[in-house]
């Protein structure tokens, strides 16, 4: 009926989309990234702020449920605030640094929580953090590697996130 429209529309329907969907590579990449993030952030915390690290580790171990609930509530609030700021075009300038800050605090919190667990597992003595750091990073990366364990890793990270923020907010 409309030959000109058919001539224009025909190439539009012949688009070849080549999407590489490899779930195994995605999970392995996430696990390696999580392992390295926990290891690096934990090492930085040990080197720069060992007193803060031990204090927050004790907070996670003293009240894990309270830290988890607080962490999840703050995370939900941050996600909603970032979403609202992104919807308002002017708020993008604030939303991007806020999202980056939330990610950094999450990484610190997850490292704190996993180091608290690893400290109990390996029974660290004195200032020897090497084994505890490797065990914490391996636990976090291993949980993410299993896929379903990512939910457990999220819960542990939320407890650490809450423990880091509970005295600051």
Domain boundaries, the chain: 28-165
User: pLDDT at position 159, please?
Assistant: 94
User: pLDDT at position 169, please?
Assistant: 72
The model's pLDDT over 77-123, given as tens digits with 9 standing for 90+, comes to: 999 999 999 898 888 899 999 999 999 999 999 999 999 999 888 87
User: pLDDT at position 136, please?
Assistant: 92
Residue 1 CA to residue 95 CA, distance in Å, equals 50
Q: Is the pLDDT of residue 10 over 80?
A: no
Q: Is the pLDDT of residue 148 over 90?
A: no
Task: Write the DSSP string, 147-165.
Answer: STHHHHHHHHHHHHHHHHH
Mean pLDDT, all residues of the chain: 85
| CB-based contact 153:140 (threshold 8 Å) | yes
The model's pLDDT over 89-100, given as tens digits with 9 standing for 90+, comes to: 888 899 999 999
Chain-centroid distance, C-alpha 134? 18
Kind and range of the H or E run holding 16: none
Q: Which residues of 137-157 are buried (b: 16+ CB within 10 A; e: fewer)?
A: bbbbbebbbeeebbeebbbbb
The three-state secondary structure class of 17 is coil
| CB-based contact 139:120 (threshold 8 Å) | no
- At residue 129 the predicted structure's pLDDT band, cuts being 50, 70 and 90, is confident
Q: Which residue has the tokens 């171990």?
A: 61
CB atoms within 10 A of CB 47: 10
């Amino acid at each position: 009926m409309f030959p000109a429209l058919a001539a224009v529309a025909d190439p539009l329907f012949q688009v070849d989309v080549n999407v590489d969907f490899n779930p195994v590579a995605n999970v392995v990449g996430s696990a390696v990234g999580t392992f390295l993030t926990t290891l690096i952030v934990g090492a930085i915390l040990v080197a720069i702020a060992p007193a803060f690290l031990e204090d927050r580790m004790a907070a996670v171990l003293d009240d894990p449920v309270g830290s988890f609930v607080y962490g999840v509530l703050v995370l939900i609030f941050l996600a909603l605030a970032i979403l609202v700021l992104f919807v308002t075009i002017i708020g993008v300038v604030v939303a991007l640094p806020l999202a980056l800050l939330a990610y950094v605090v999450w990484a610190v919190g997850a490292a704190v929580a996993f180091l608290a667990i690893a400290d109990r597992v390996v029974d660290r003595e004195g200032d020897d953090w090497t084994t505890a750091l490797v065990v914490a990073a391996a636990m976090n990366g291993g949980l993410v590697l299993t896929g379903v364990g990512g939910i457990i890793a999220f819960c542990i990270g939320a407890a650490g996130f809450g423990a880091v923020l509970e005295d600051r907010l």
